[in-house]
Amino acid sequence: MKRKYFILKVDKAPTSIGGERNVSGGFEYEYERMRDMKRVIVACGSGVATSQTVASKVNRLLKENKIDARVDVVDLKSIDRHIDSSVAYIAITKVTKEYPIPVINGIAFLTGVNQDAELKKLIEACK
- Catalytic positions are 44
Q: How far is CA 5 from the centre of its chain?
A: 34
> Alpha-carbon distance 57 to 2, whole Å?
43
Name the maximum alpha-carbon separation found in the chain: 59
Residues 6 or more apart whose CB falls under 8 angstroms from that of 110 comprise 50, 53, 54, 92
